[in-house]
Amino acid sequence: MHTFDKLYINGQWIKPCGTGSIDVIDSGSEEVMGRVPEGNAADAELAIDAARAAFDGWAATPAAERAALLQKVADNLKARTDELAAIICGEVGMPIKLARMIQVGSPVYNWGAYAKLAASFEFEQEVGNSLVVREPVGVVAAITPWNYPLNQITLKVAPALAAGCTVVLKPSEVAPLDAFVLAEAIHDAGLPAGVFNLVSGYGPVVGEVLASHPSVDMVSFTGSTRAGKRVAELAAASVKRVALELGGKSASVILDDADFAAAVKGTVGACFANAGQTCSAHTRMLVPAARYDEARDLTKKVAETYAPGDPRNETTRLGALASAAQQQRVQQYIAKGIEEGAELVTGGTGRPEGLGKGFFVKPTVFGRVHPKATVAQEEIFGPVLSILTYDDEDEAVRIANDSPYGLGGAVWAGSDERAMRVARRIRTGQVDINGGNWNMAAPFGGYKQSGNGRENGVYGLEEYLEYKSMQLKVAKPA
C-alpha cells in the first residue's frame, strides 16, 4: 500500500483542510493499492496563494540555477525508476516492462531535456530598436490525466518551472500516486517553497477552483474534450491563457502501394499501445476497398498476438484498462459496434478468457466500418480498431478529415514523398510517415476539438512564456 495523508503546499507536507480520502485501485487485481487525500477548495486556494507568493522570486532566479534544480529532479526520479514503474503499472495497467521504459523513462528524459533547455534558451533578442524579452506567464494550474500520468505531469510542470513559472498540480484521482513521488523528488531537489504545489482531489472541486481563480495566470489541461470545454469556460472569466490537449480519433491511411504487412503491424501497435489508452492512438485504419480482405486477414493475425495478461508479468504485451468505469465504457462501445452492423473481425464483448479479475477487455477489430458509425467517430480509449475502406486517395483524405478531432495519424505509402504529400492534406497535429518514430522534441498537440497549444521540446517551453517588447530610442544622426 502506498498511503499519503498530506498535501504538498508551500514546500511542506501539510494536513489537508478536509478529512476525505481517495482509494487508488490496482487495475490488474482490482485491489486497493494506495490512498491519497481528497483535497477541497480551501486546499486549492492555499496552494494558489503559495504559488503566487513564490512567483517573483522564482521568476528572478537565473535560468542556469533553475536548470540545475530541474536536473536534480530528473536524477531523483531516475533513482526511483523501479518503484515508479510498479506504481504506474498498477494505476494504469500498462505492462511493467513498457511502464519502466515509457511511463518512467519518458519523464526522466523530459525533466533532463527541460533542464538543458532552461540553460540554453534565448530569453532575450534584439529586433531593430526593440529588446524582445520572454518572461514567465505567472502562476500555472496543471490538471493532468491518468493514461500517461507522470509524463503528462512532466510535460506541464517541467517546462513551466524552466520558464520561471510557479505551479499548482492536480493529478487525476485515478492515478495520483506517481505525482506524490514526484513531489518528494522535487522537495529533495531543493526547489524553493511554493514553486511547486500538489493538491489531489476531484475535478469538479479542485479543478474548478484552479481553472477559475483570478490569481492563476494560465491553466494547462489534458483530458477529455468535454472536460476541456468546461476548463476553457471557467478560465474565460479572468481571460487566462489556456492550453488544452484533448481527445483524438486518429486515422492511419494505408495507400495502395504501401507495404501492407508493415503498415498493418504498425497501425495495430499504435492502436493497442497502453491498451488503447492513448489520446493519439491510431484507431481508424483506412485501406483500399479493393484490398479489404487482405487487410482484414492481416489485421486479425496481428491483433491476436496481443493476448491480455497480468500487467506485472515481464512478458505481458497487453495489460488492463485503468478503471472499472473505463472497462465498462469500452465494453459498451464494442457492443455498439456490433449493434450498428460492423463486421467483428476479432475480439468482442466480455472478459478475456482466464482473466477473472482486473479491468481487462478483449482486443477488438471491426471491419467494414461506416465512416459515420459510432466506433469510427467517438474516442473509445481502449484496444478497439476500426477498418474503413476508400476508393481513391481523395476519398481517403476526406474520410481521415471527417472527425471532430485532429491529434495524430499516419500515412503508409510506397514512398515517403507520396506519404508526405497526403499527410499535408490531413488536418492533424502529428502524422507518422511510413512508421516514423516518436520524437520527444517535436511539438505535440492537435487541431479542431483535439485542443490548442503544444507540448514537448522548445514548443512546450514557449507555451509558458509571455512576450515583452522594450522599444529603445534611436539616436538621431548628427
Residues identified as active-site: 245, 279
Gap between the Cα atoms of 154 and 298, Å rounded: 37
Burial 440-475 (b: 16+ CB within 10 A, else e): eeebbbbbbbbbbbbbbbebbbbbbbeeeeeeeeee
* Inter-helix orientation angle 63-79/177-189, to 10°: 130
User: How many other CB atoms are found less than 10 A from the CB of residue 414?
Assistant: 13
Q: What are phi and psi of 56, to 5 degrees?
A: -60, -45
DSSP letter assigned to residue 318? B
Q: Contact 446/429 with Cβ under 8 angstroms?
A: yes
CB 228 within 8 A of CB 407: no
**Residue 211 CA from chain centroid, whole number:** 19
- C-alpha cell, 11: 514546500
CA dist 292 and 298 (Å) reads 10
- Map grid coordinates 487525476 to a residue: 172
